[in-house]
Structure 1
Amino acid sequence: MTVIMGPPKSGKSTLLKAIAGRLHHSAKMYGEVYVNGAKLDMPYGSYGFVERETTLIGSLTVREFLFYSALLQLPGFFCQKKSVVEDAIIAMSLSDYANKLIGGHCYMKGLPSGERRRVSIARELVMRPHVLFIDEPLYHLDSVSALLMMVTLKKLASMGCTLLFTICQSSTEVFGLFDRICLLSNGNTLFFGETLACLQHFSNAGFPCPIMQSPSDHFLRAINTDFDRIIAMCKNWQDDNGDFSSVNMDTAVAIRTLEATYKSSADAAAVETMILRLTDKEGPRLKTKGKAGSATRIAVLTWRSLLIMSREWKYYWLRLILYMLLTLCIGTVFSGLGHSLSSVVTRVAAIFIFISFTALLSIAGVPALMKEIKICASEKSNQHSGVLVFLFGQLLSSIPFLFLISISSSLVFYFLVGLRDEFSLLMYFVLNFFMCLLVNEGLVLAVVSMWKDVFWSVLTLVSIQVVMMLSAGYFRIRSALPGPVWTIPISYIAFHTYSIQGLLENEYLGTTFAVGQVRTISGIQAIRSAYDISPDSNSKWENLLVLFLMAVGYRVFVFFLLFFRIGKNKSIHKIFRCSRDTNS
């Protein structure tokens, strides 16, 4: 169990990521990493990496979360994966929390931060890795939780798993559990070796640890330059009987002294000898344990998303209720229109408002989609899943929910407004609205993927929806819109246009209206002054095809967007960044 210790911004996490092969694509690493005497070659499943802040699924229990993680990562049968999950639960001392929801619900609190941290580590343990990298395992943990975490990790190390993690500081009890320590300051190595030898190293450099002080606190005091400012502030009320600090020297001088002492010490020579010995002869290579196929992963993600939807009432069931209430309001306002010529303009308004306002309600799904994308990013970084697998799983799981919204809202609106009483026309209305929701969901996914922020996503979506509503052909017929911007491209990329056109063609193609006692006009002629639709009987299906292609197009765009942002670890609003050099 080796710990990388140092003050903030000393290079701990960078060194850990460099060893694990997870550096940012713009970073340059000098030096080589060897595993069992060979250059870095850790295949899938041979190692695990736990980020400082991991994304967990709050609506799942600990056992469910780990089981779905096992299904995503491991090949083989269900019974084998259940056994692996139970082993991970026992290894991380989570038996008392196995059936508890990670995020809790309105009547029950979720897991404390210490247990959440252990769940994130247990997720990597289901692969039974040979090496486990953990960035700040004690992050935001109290003293009791920190000690429990380290005792658990010590037990895990005794079972044959090599642990390498970073830490800022620890209590005396926690410090005593470390096997080796690597001390960093400003990217430079001040010590590497046995934990007890580090105390002797500081003593040899002229900085012995006081009896009543924690070793980690003493180390950080000596190498953290921030303490110089604190000492300068405290000089006026410093105790006359003793020094405020155990290190009576400028921190920069202390760092140089410790570095020079280490380079000339027997510990540094022993490390050099050990490196030569380990790299001289190549040992057995780590072997991959295989992974689940893409079809299995899509099925697992779909299954998991459906379960999450059934439990996340704030983001899914409440959204369904809002759709029903809005549709009920629109339907009652426009109820009893009849089928006379005078009702045509009002009926067009009803359909326009129905499509436009329900599209605006899709913004309520932004937080849920934001969570899904964060989970995708977390699983993608650990190779548990992929962007294409995520998009297929998200699509398949959202189809039942969107279809439930479309059929319930369509039935309420259709019969309250009193549209044509034919089953085939009703089915087209449901299908058209379903495709409209599918396109809208793709648009929301695209915007959320770009911004990765709820506020900016909502602001962008509202702006896009308003512009699409203005160019949809209701406020002004498309042919009369000022060009070229409003006509081309805005009116052609607004999905409202094709949805409303299809619904109006569905309602008025093949109908006639009496004008006086002897003259009649077709439904196309009657609606022409209010909305521009095609007289072609197949045009409504063409509009449906356009909606389908837009739904596919948005998701293709999201695929490249997520691949660019997650695969390269870069967000759209931070494209231009300076490259960094990393020395190791």
Structure 2
Amino acid sequence: LFFNTYESSDIYQMAQKEVAQICQKNNRQSGFFTQCHVLTRRSFTNMSRDLGYYWLRLGIYISLSIVLGSMFSHIGVDNGTIQVRSLMMFVASFLTFMAIVGFPSFVEEMKVFERERLNGHYGVTPFGIGNTLSALPFLALVALIPDAITYFLPGLHHRYQHFLFFVIILFACMMLVESLMMIVASVVPNILMGIIVGDGIQGIMILVCGFFRLPTDLPKPLLKYPFYHIVFHKYAYQGLFKNEFLGLTSPNAEAGNGGSPTITGEEILKQTWHFETAYSKWVDLAILFAMVVFYRVLFLIVMKTTEKVKLVMVKFMSATRKERTQVTVNPSATPSATPYCADKRQWQ
């Protein structure tokens, strides 16, 4: 009697309407900008709480920077410091190579994304945008503090605009490495295999960037064309070296042989490092950021392509399993009942 009275009351009708409205709102998918905002905030919270994502990397970077800066402290501007200033190569290599530390955390984030993607909560593009925006403050922090130690301890170019360019270059490099590892994670979801593949790709990039072997000495098939021109380390090194050497004048070691008493930074870049000086360091920086955009777009393309391939494979496997079930239940052919003659070894 009590339940019948409640169901016939106005309160019950109002409650039913509110429940229907709530269900309708929940079934309605949120907008694109709302998805980006929520995913950015959630990803930022996860990154700030996960020690292995950026905080551990920051501690390792600071330790490496202190050791590296102490080894090359107060290098001066004489001719012998030309080779010593190559420490920028170690900065660009080590600090970017260690960006792979955050790969396991990103793989776990990818697993959450795949589950929520299957439920239709949001798409690949909001996830990529949210991950990119949430990582920017941490990457800026990781680039600023260790680079300041590495830059001022050795006494590199004493101008703050050069220091800011130094930080921005390494910031772009770390974004590139993270973008590369995102692509690897979308193809190789296993953590161990992903780290191995990522290390291998970065190792090849470092080897063919034009530092260990001068660009003019690289074998032209494959290593110089196209690898040398598509690896981001080439533009990072050239930007860092141009930032350091252009405007710098050092004593010339060959002055006693009739040479000029001083040597300019541009001559060092051309004669010693064989770098391209036809364009400025800002072009190198622009190329790096263009590669960041390209890698992020490539990540979205790979993710969407992987989804379509998985869908096709699931449909194919489902159709194959269905055909096998039909054949098992309703076989199309029945065995012959004709007796077999052993003497003539043929069917009668």
Same fold (TM over 0.5): yes
Give the secondary structure class of the aligned counterpart of 2:85.
helix
Residue of structure 1 in register with 2:92 after alignment: 355
Residue in 2 aligned with 1:20? Answer: none
Q: Establish whether residue 292 from structure 1 lines up as the match of residue 30 from structure 2.
A: yes
CA distance in 2, matches of 1:514, 1:329: 28
In structure 1, the residue matched to 2:111 is 374
CA positional deviation for 1:306: 1.0
Deviations 1:496-537 (A, max 9, x none): 11101001001111222232486222112124344222334x
1:315 correspondence with 2:57: no
CA distance in 1, matches of 2:54, 2:157: 31
Q: Pick one of 53, 63, 81 that aligns with 1:343.
A: 81
| C-alpha distance after superposition, 1:241-279 (max 9, x if no partner) | xxxxxxxxxxxxxxxxxxxxxxxxxxxxxxxxxxxxxxx
Tell me the equivalent position of 2:251: 514
Report % sequence identity: 32
**Candidates 435, 442, 457, aligned match of 2:172:** 435
Question: For 2:216 and 2:46, how far apart are their aligned partners in 1?
Answer: 45
For residue 548 of structure 1, the aligned residue among 289, 295, 303 is 289
Aligned match of 1:580? 319
**Distance across 1 between alignment mates of 2:269 and 2:306:** 46
Distance 1:438 1:570, change over 3 A: farther
Residue by residue over 1:456-507, the C-alpha shift from the partner in whole angstroms, topping out at 9 and shown as x without a partner, is: 1111111111111111111111121011111011112211111010010011
User: Is the CA contact 1:524–1:533 (under 8 Å) kept in the aligned structure 2?
Assistant: no
* 2:265 counterpart of 1:526: no
Q: CA deviation at 1:568?
A: 4.5
Residue 419 (structure 1) shift: 0.6
Which is strand-richer, 1 or 2?
1
Distance 1:555 1:580, change over 3 A: same
Structure 2, unmatched stretches of 5+, are: 1-17, 326-348
CA distance in 2, matches of 1:307, 1:495: 30
Q: Which moved more, 1:463-472 or 1:526-535?
A: 526-535
CA distance in 1, matches of 2:182, 2:154: 32
Summarize the Cα distance change of 1:463–1:289 in structure 2 as closer, same or farther, 3 Å threshold. closer
- SS of the aligned residue for 1:340 comes to coil
Say whether 1:539 aligns with 2:276.
no
Read off the aligned partner of 1:298 and give its amino acid letter. C
Structure-2 change in CA distance of 1:580 and 1:334 (3 Å): farther
**Aligned 8 A contact 2:52 2:102 in 1:** no
Q: Equivalent of 2:138, from 401, 425, 436?
A: 401
Residue 303 of structure 2 corresponds to residue 565 of structure 1: no
When normalised by structure 2's length, the TM-score is 0.80
Alignment-mate amino acid for residue 346 of structure 1: V
Contact 1:512 1:522 in 2 (8 A): yes
Q: What are the residue-to-residue correspondences of 1:378-389 with 2, within 5 Å?
A: 378-389=115-126
Whether the aligned pair in 1 keeps the contact of 2:96 and 2:170 (CA below 8 Å) is: no
Superposition map of 1:170-319 within 5 A: 289-319=27-57
Greater share of residues in helix: 2
Q: What CA distance in whole angstroms lies between the structure 1 residues aligned with 2:111 and 2:242? A: 41
- Quick check: 1:442–1:555 contact (8 Å CA) kept in 2? yes
Instruction: Give 2:147's aligned residue.
Output: 410
Q: What's the offset of the Cα at 1:446?
A: 0.6
One-letter amino acid matched to 1:414: Y
1:198-225 deviation line (CA, Å, top 9, x unaligned): xxxxxxxxxxxxxxxxxxxxxxxxxxxx
Which residue does the alignment assign to 2:182?
A: 445
Give the residue type in structure 2 aligned to 1:540: K
Contact 1:474 1:530 in 2 (8 A): no
| 8 Å CA contact retained: 2:270, 2:277 | no
Question: Which residue pairs with 2:13 in the alignment?
Answer: none
Q: Counterpart of 2:214?
A: 477
Within 1, Cα distance between the matches of 2:311 and 2:31?
A: 27
Alpha-carbon contact 1:501-1:540 (below 8 Å) kept? yes
Given that 2:242 and 2:269 are in contact with CA atoms closer than 8 Å, whether structure 1 keeps it comes out as no
The answer on 1:493 being equivalent to 2:230 is yes
Conserved in 2, the CA contact under 8 Å of 1:344 and 1:527?
no
Give, in whole Å, the separation in 2 of the partners of 1:451 and 1:497: 26
Asked if the contact 2:270–2:276 (Cα under 8 Å) also holds between the matched residues in 1, the reply is no
Q: Provide the aligned C-alpha RMSD in A.
A: 2.7
SS in 2 for 1:521: strand
Question: Within 2, Cα distance between the matches of 1:445 and 1:289?
Answer: 30
Contact 2:236 2:284 in 1 (8 A): yes
Distance in 2, matches of 1:290 and 1:398, equals 29
1:488/1:332 CA distance change after superposition, 3 Å:
same
Alpha-carbon deviation of 1:290?
2.2
Contact 1:478 1:487 in 2 (8 A): yes
- The alpha-carbon distance between structure 1 residues 388 and 513, as it changes in their structure 2 partners (threshold 3 A), is same
TM-score in terms of structure 1 length: 0.48
Q: How does 1:463-474 map to 2 (within 5 A)?
A: 463-474=200-211
| 8 Å contact from structure 1 (residues 319, 364) kept in 2 | yes
| 1:394-425 Cα shifts (integer Å, max 9, x gaps) | 00001111111111121011011211110111
1:438: how far off?
0.9
Counterpart contact for 2:62–2:146, Cα < 8 Å: yes
Q: Check the 8 A contact 1:377/1:566 in 2, yes or no.
A: no
